[in-house]
Amino acid sequence: MDLKMLLNKEQYEAAVQVNGPLLILAGAGSGKTRVLTYRIAHMINDLNIYPSKILAITFTNKAAGEMKDRVRSLVGNEADNMWVSTFHSSCVRILRREIDKLGYNKNFAIYDTYDQKILIKQCMDELNINDKDITDREIINKIGEQKDNLISPDRYKKENEGNYRLNKIADAYMLYQKKLKSNNALDFDDLIYKTVELFKKNEEVLDFYQRKFQYVMVDEYQDTNKSQYELVKLLATKHRNICVVGDDDQCIYAWRGADIKNILGFEKDYPEAKVIKLEQNYRSKGNILKAANDVIKNNAERKRKVLRTENEDGERIKIYRAYSDMEEANYVASQIRKITKDNNKKYKDFAVLYRTNAQSRTFEDIFMKSNIPYRIIGGLKFYDRKEIKDILAYLKFVNNPLDDVSLRRIINVPKRSIGDATVKKVQEFANSMEECMYSVLLDIEQVPSIPTRGTASIKKFVSLINSFIRSKDEIAVSSLIKEILDTTGYLEELKDSQDIDALSRIENLKELVSAAVEFESTSEDKSLSAFLEKVTLVSDIDNFNEDADTVVMMTVHSAKGLEFPVVFMVGMENGIFPGSQSLNDFSEMEESRRLCYVGITRAKEQLYMTSAEQRRVFGRTVSYSESDFIGEISKDLRENDNMTARNTIKSKSFSTYSNRSTTITNSVTSHMNRSVNNSMPSSFGESSLNKNKENANSLKIEDIKAGLKVKHDKFGIGTIVGVSKSGEYTKLTIVFDKAGIKNLMYGVASLEFV
């Protein structure tokens, strides 16, 4: 394997640098995964380093799977002897072996956000915390923040004794951790937090893993938080053969704890570190990269690097300023239709990227009307659906009978005459005896005031669960799921249901069985614990199917690591992207600019950046100026896709007027808008213009003034609040009763005076 032939100069240098600390600053699209896989192959094939001595950590299961597949193609089955996994998966693997040293059973449950919320609400009830004063979400976020920063409940309590609000949260944190342990459960943040705690409390355990992993590699290092940073540092201390790969310009997760100082300060932690920059981009056309460089160079807190490419410059970045968010969506739809037709593109070649998930609705509406297939990444996840969570709760409880949260979810699902009052009595009795709920259920006659009917139902439920517990180690997970669905009557209840979504829920359950079958065919560890780990740790992006022929809609955060031939960055307005908070905060503005950089570099061939004069936000009509980030791109790299009013009139085409740029859209956009607003024709001659003017109830222009009522075919009744000249035409600003503020051209829009 001649690496010099396979890699460029900087990539080769990074791949063969094996001993000692190494920082690889990998720009977007610079082939970092290629470098990492060839580096591992070089270590195994050329240097005869045993694979089990290598730990490679990524941030998503998708990235881990891709890396392992690539390594396997280069070194064969030897790849199966090395650890390539996410931070959380690596920690789960360690904790399954060692967590008994922290007082937990090895079959611990992993609580997702739903389970976490249930437990926090229990803590709030017991501590008399009013959710109107402190919400469960605030408490969960604060606890997660402390775990990310390795702050224990006792320390947090001590630090905030003088602050009433934070002291209450500290009490909740302490009780929450106590309940987690009694349930033999960890939440998502605990997985790393507890692994670091394990290493710090047990020198022998730490020494074992330090000797085991003589070579540590971390991808996306710029996204690490305090606990992840500490975990990596502990593992690498003995041999110092640590290679971190990342791009400080793509650090976009500060809101969930990522600390850019980890990558910027790597050379302080390891003064002997070698630094290699990967600046040659293999993804994007030249103009796209130049635009990305233009934007990101305005950040102060970064290591300087400039993306370059041998690709052609390609088209300039298309900038479009729509009148409204609806017109913005129409414009995007029209361009997708045009490009698919003219350039023979498929729908999967397009991505619509926005700042927040709430922005998707308008595009969904327009895409449905336009028959453009789409999918949203970041909506309701498969494993978040009620029926899936119900069956997973059965599996979790069967695997860990100490799990009171899962027990409470399934004890009366499907209905078996065990009401809330009975469950509450069982919970209170369990608390008084300091036992788990299932232990109480096993001896239900000892609980006072449980009615005979409830006792009989509980005994049947216990018998059912005991049969599942006996089966779990004897049959495959897929068979256990089928047994639960059939024996509990869950599937039968759905089949008999009159609910309109019952059929789709049944299909989802079939898909869960299929997921279990796939797990059994691909996983070395086929146990129930391993299956639960897999589905609990899966992220939304792990389910991204690149082959589905649909337009992809997602937030820019979700798009990181992906690439598309054509990208639309929408809602590019000050107040949205960047958000209003960023406009007044230096560090947040820098992160928003990094997010913009990430969005730009997702595009391979064409990039569109769109905005709107006004849009609906939380039911209000708001107006924002065009994003400052667009202004940071050199003028010679951008192309305004709105034609000037003079050129538009000359070409006999007209559409929506733009306040900010005093431009109106071209004939392509007008044609697109015609399907939504028939009162704004895509083209007209002098005769049609005069005809429209004559139809405006024969009112002279000089008589039109603020206060007059008008009626529009689409927008309904409105009141004129402003009249102004626009060249040889008159622009009317109208507040419609149901459609908000609109700017329409007199004689073009179909208006009646009422």
Per-position DSSP letters for 346-384, written without gaps between them: -GGGEEEEESSGGGHHHHHHHHHHTT--EEETTSS-GGG
Does 29 belong to an annotated binding site?
yes
Amino acid at 626: E
Query: Active site includes 32?
Result: yes
Does 26 belong to an annotated binding site?
yes
Residue 184 phi/psi, 5° resolution? 50, 55
Spot the catalytic one: 33, 340, 356, 644.
33
3-state secondary structure of 291: helix
Does 378 belong to an annotated binding site?
no
* The pLDDT value given to residue 249: 94
* The pLDDT value given to residue 668: 30
* The pLDDT value given to residue 325: 92
Helices 226-236 + 203-212 axis angle, to 10 = 70
Cβ 665 vs Cβ 643: under 8 Å: yes
Quick check: bond before 578 cis, omega within 30? yes
Q: Which CATH architecture has domain 109-183?
A: Orthogonal Bundle (1.10)
* The pLDDT value given to residue 379: 59
Classify strands 109-111 and 185-187 as parallel, antiparallel or unpaired: parallel
Query: Active site includes 168?
Result: no
Classify each residue of 300-314 as buried b or exposed e, where b means 16 or more C-beta atoms within 10 Å of its C-beta: eebeebebebebeeb
* The pLDDT value given to residue 280: 94
Classify strands 620-622 and 638-640 as parallel, antiparallel or unpaired: unpaired
Does 334 belong to an annotated binding site?
no
Spot the catalytic one: 112, 190, 220, 573.
220
Does 20 belong to an annotated binding site?
no
> Which residues are paired to 552 by β-bridges?
351, 375
Query: Active site includes 179?
Result: no
Q: How far is CA 1 from CA 14, 46, 76, 77, 194, in A?
A: 16, 9, 14, 17, 41
Cβ 248 vs Cβ 263: under 8 Å: yes
* The pLDDT value given to residue 696: 44
* The pLDDT value given to residue 597: 97
CATH of domain 382-538: 1.10.486.10
Cβ 674 vs Cβ 680: under 8 Å: yes
Q: Which CATH superfamily is domain 308-373+549-647 in?
A: P-loop containing nucleotide triphosphate hydrolases (3.40.50.300)
Q: Computed over its alpha carbons, how large is the radius of gyration of the chain? A: 30
Spot the catalytic one: 68, 70, 396, 602.
602
Alpha helices in 370-501 (DSSP H): 386-399, 404-410, 420-433, 437-441, 452-471, 477-487, 490-496
* The pLDDT value given to residue 689: 37
Cβ 254 vs Cβ 581: under 8 Å: no
Question: Which residues does 621 contact at the CB level (< 8 Å), separation at least 6?
Answer: 614, 615, 740, 741
What is the rounded CA–CA span in Å between residue 539 and residue 188? 12
Spot the catalytic one: 195, 250, 606, 663.
250
> Torsion over CA of 740, 745, 748 and 749, rounded to 10 degrees?
10
Query: Active site includes 560?
Result: no
What is the rounded CA–CA span in Å between residue 599 and residue 284? 12
* Third-level CATH fold of 3-98+193-278: Rossmann fold (3.40.50)
* The pLDDT value given to residue 618: 65
Spot the catalytic one: 190, 219, 403, 590.
219
Q: Which parts of the chain register pLDDT below 70?
A: 379-381, 539-545, 618-619, 643-700, 726-729, 737-741
* The pLDDT value given to residue 739: 65
Q: For the segment 651-689, what is each residue's pLDDT rounded down to a tens digit?
A: 333 333 333 333 323 333 333 333 333 333 333 333 333
Does 430 belong to an annotated binding site?
no
Does 28 belong to an annotated binding site?
yes
* The pLDDT value given to residue 381: 66
